[in-house]
Amino acid sequence: MSLRTIRVEGDEILRKSSKEIQVMTPRLRRLISDMLDTMYENNGVGLAAVQVGILKRLVVIDTGDDPHVLINPKIIARSGSQTGSEGCLSIPGKSGTVTRPEEVTVQALNENMEEITLTGSGLLARAICHECDHLEGQLYVDLVEGELVDDEEEYED
Ligand code: NI
């Protein structure tokens, strides 16, 4: 397992637009594996490459079903609306209310550079939108309704 350092808000790279991936390489495969490790280690449901300092259009998402690797993702359909709490590993300890589509369909390449289409609703739709925004240099705080709140402390026993 190999963890990458997560860039946090204030780091200007998070505001940059990421570049399309043309070809899979061993280095990119290692990046994907490290991003999954880093996401799970930090209890995240998604991570974009820019968050570990790599300006490539690559995101990983796992909302509890299966890990999804999305390369050059494009949201091709949106429907409905959901308003709920959202956070980001680059803005640790905070969350805020964001309205997103209830369901989205995204077209992308997988880790084998095969075309895939993924439709998600609820949390998966939210994660897809959130991670695709990262590729444009956008953060959820740009969309937040009201104030950011401190996440409740988690108690360990
Ligand atoms: Ni995020």
* pLDDT score for 1: 81
* pLDDT score for 78: 98
Q: Strands, E, within 30-130: which ranges?
A: 46-48, 58-61, 68-79, 82-86, 94-100, 103-109, 115-121
* pLDDT score for 151: 85
Q: Is the Cβ–Cβ distance between 9 and 90 less than 8 Å?
A: yes
Catalytic residue among 102, 131, 136, 147: 131
* pLDDT score for 23: 97
The pTM for the full model equals: 0.95
* pLDDT score for 153: 58
Q: Is the Cβ–Cβ distance between 120 and 128 less than 8 Å?
A: yes
Annotated active-site residue 131? The verdict is: yes
CA of 155 to the centre of ligand 1 (A): 24
Residue type, 41: E
pLDDT < 70: residue spans in the chain? 153-157
* pLDDT score for 152: 73
Q: Is the Cβ–Cβ distance between 112 and 24 less than 8 Å?
A: yes
pLDDT in tens, 13-43: 999 999 999 999 999 999 999 999 999 999 9
